[in-house]
């Protein structure tokens, strides 16, 4: 059972109210299921919507933010717990350590960076935790297509492509994360050495 989920998302609200509505829907599911939130600690954009929604419902919220971003991202001051760290890398490591799973909501470079870092860690076996995309309004469709293409063109093994779970429904996505089991796969280079590819 997943008790704590890390959510990656934008420090902006985006252009469509559907993004904030989706974030609120996710907090409602977390509150219903008794799931705690770990996130980047900011008081802006979808990050604020998530934190405020959880806090309003009596949920537990842990923020993790580097010193350099405390002023720029406007650190949330009402969280259950806040960790101020030295670097972005330390931020991602601590969020991963504190969480049982990861969900990405719409965002930009920071969200993509966090998402692909934990995907890579899973691929390498550094972290073995489920990862999902909450695909509000099809926001992640181009990214999903890119990962599919990477698998089709044999840059990404199908087993590693399957690490990333996707859904447009919060409850269905949570179900996929809870049911996920890691799949062991060879590295491409190992297959090449053994003449399998």
| Helix (H) or strand (E) run with residue 5 in it | strand 4-8
pLDDT at 183: 78
User: Which CATH number is 89's domain given?
Assistant: 3.40.50.450
| Domain region containing 27 | 4-193
Q: Is the model's pLDDT at 185 over the cut of 80? A: no
Average pLDDT of every residue of the chain = 93
Q: Is 1 exposed, middle or buried (0-12, 13-18, 19+ CB in 10 A)?
A: exposed
Look up the pTM and report it. 0.92
Rounded-to-integer distance, Cα 164 and Cα 34, Å: 23
Which residues, listed in sequence order, are joined to residue 144 by a DSSP beta bridge? none
Q: Is the model's pLDDT at 40 over the cut of 80? A: yes
* Three-class DSSP category at 102: strand
The total of structural domains in the chain comes to: 1
Rounded-to-integer distance, Cα 138 and Cα 192, Å: 36
pLDDT at 197: 47
Q: What is the DSSP letter of 73?
A: T
SS3 content of the chain, % helix, strand, coil (to 5): 50, 15, 35
Rounded-to-integer distance, Cα 16 and Cα 3, Å: 30
| Average pLDDT estimate for 39-62 | 97
Number of helices followed by number of strands (H, E) in the chain? 8, 7
pLDDT at 164: 97
């Amino acid at each position: 059972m997943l008790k704590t989920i890390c959510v990656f998302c934008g420090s902006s609200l985006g252009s469509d109210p559907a993004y904030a509505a989706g974030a609120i829907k996710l907090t409602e599911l977390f509150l219903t299921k008794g799931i705690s939130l770990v996130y980047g600690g900011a008081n802006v954009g979808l990050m604020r919507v998530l934190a405020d929604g959880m806090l309003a419902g009596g949920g537990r919220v842990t923020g993790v933010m580097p010193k350099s971003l405390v002023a720029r991202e406007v650190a949330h001051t009402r969280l259950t717990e806040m960790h101020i760290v030295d670097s972005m890398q330390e931020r991602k490591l601590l969020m991963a350590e504190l969480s049982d799973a990861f969900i990405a909501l719409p965002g930009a470079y920071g969200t993509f960076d966090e998402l692909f870092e934990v995907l890579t860690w899973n691929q390498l076996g550094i972290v073995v935790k489920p990862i999902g995309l909450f695909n509000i309004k099809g926001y992640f469709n181009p990214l999903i297509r890119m990962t599919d293409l990477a698998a089709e063109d044999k840059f990404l093994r199908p087993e590693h492509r399957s690490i990333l779970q996707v859904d447009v429904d919060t409850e269905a996505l949570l179900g996929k994360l809870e049911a996920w089991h890691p799949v062991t796969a060879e590295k491409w280079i190992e297959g090449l050495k053994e003449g399998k590819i």
